[in-house]
Structure 1
Amino acid sequence: MIMVRLIDYQATEPISMVNNNNPIAIPHSPNHIVLAAICITIPKNANKNHVELIATVGLRGVSGTSQILFKIFRDGKEIFSAQEGVESDPTSEVNYIATFQAIDTNVKKGSHLYELTAENITNGTEAAVVGPISFSGLAIAHDDEGRDL
């Protein structure tokens, strides 16, 4: 029988609903904005583990067609990136929801800070975060007998 155990779960929701009246501008690369952060703790007896990270960000195109680069950092080191195109044409879609998942495997014991960031990598365009924003991390360990998930 395959055994796994939950070793930590953290979640944050800095913005719980869309609000086009209070947009947060997404800076152009190499600058970025930290959208959310969580701390996941891996105990010493969880050598075979993984952390499942799920992020959702509500976006709005302001001008042009922006390419938004999302990154997830663990303790300041980039471990994941994803890209989303956002248009601003008022006759089309201007609000978007980007949802993505990352899996961080065999994380060392201790507490780890995971940060979700966004940056606009397309010059001459503008995009904003309008909500919602959610970011969660679920840490799972293999059983003590070393069986795989």
Structure 2
Amino acid sequence: MTTVILDYQASVPSSFFAGTPAVTVPQTPTQLQIADLGLFLPNITSSSANNQVLLTADVGVRNLGPIFNNDVVFHIYRDGREIFNTIVGLQIPGPVTSDYNISFNTIDENVPFGFHIYQLTVYAFIQTAQSTIQVVGPITFSGLGLGSG
């Protein structure tokens, strides 16, 4: 079976640390959209059941405050429907600031032919009102569409 690259897109709203002003991550249930991209999967393979989109994200965050063990939750949506989520614990030893570069990826399988919008969002679980989590960059979000048949 032959694998074909159907499309590739990348979204780089912030490509370097502190390249844009820090944005405070809201607490659950409010989500902050930090990146999006569009992919077109043409009908050139035998079936969309074999279509996959490899999604990769890198996000720089900062944990501020006196309490450790705050969490951030990332979601990826395809066309408004959630396809992936992950929770990442942020720990700091006392009243200091810690910076993190969080990387993750997933595969969206059985993607129908056509144009699709992928959105990357984040929200926080914060232990105390004195703590804050910020997106500080870099942010990259990419998608590679593959088909076989």
Give TM-score scaled by structure 1 length.
0.87
| Residue of structure 1 equivalent to 2:126 | 122
Q: CA deviation at 1:87?
A: 2.9
| Residue of structure 2 equivalent to 1:56 | 58
Q: Aligned partners of 1:82 and 1:101: how far apart in 2?
A: 10
| Residue of structure 1 equivalent to 2:31 | 32
For 1:70-81, what aligned pairs fall within 5 Å after superposition?
A: 70-81=74-85
The superposition leaves residues 58-103 of structure 1 with CA deviations (integer Å, 9 ceiling, x where unpaired) of 0100122320000000011110001111234477770001000010
- Which one of the candidate residues 97, 106, 112 is aligned to 2:101? 97
- Which one of the candidate residues 106, 110, 122 is aligned to 2:110? 106
2:18 equivalent to 1:12: no
Give TM-score scaled by structure 2 length.
0.87
Deviates more, 1:121-130 or 1:48-57: 121-130
The DSSP-based 3-state class of the residue aligned with 2:102 is: strand
The superposition leaves residues 43-70 of structure 1 with CA deviations (integer Å, 9 ceiling, x where unpaired) of 1234211000000000100122320000
| Residue of structure 1 equivalent to 2:43 | 44
Q: Aligned partners of 1:21 and 1:49: how far apart in 2?
A: 35
Structure 1 residue ranges, 4+ long, deviating more than 6 angstroms after superposition: 90-93
Q: Aligned partners of 2:133 and 2:92: how far apart in 1?
A: 8
Q: Per the alignment, do residues 21 and 140 of structure 1 end up closer, same or farther by CA in structure 2, a change over 3 Å counting?
A: closer
Task: Give the total of aligned pairs.
Answer: 142
2:145 equivalent to 1:139: yes
Does the 8 Å CA contact 2:64/2:96 hold for their aligned counterparts?
no
Does the 8 Å CA contact 2:14/2:20 hold for their aligned counterparts?
no
Identity of aligned residues (%): 32
Q: CA deviation at 1:121?
A: 2.0
The DSSP-based 3-state class of the residue aligned with 1:70 is: strand
The superposition leaves residues 103-149 of structure 1 with CA deviations (integer Å, 9 ceiling, x where unpaired) of 00010111110000000023423200110000000001113xxxxxx
> CA-atom RMSD, angstroms?
1.9
Q: Aligned partners of 2:57 and 2:23: how far apart in 1?
A: 17
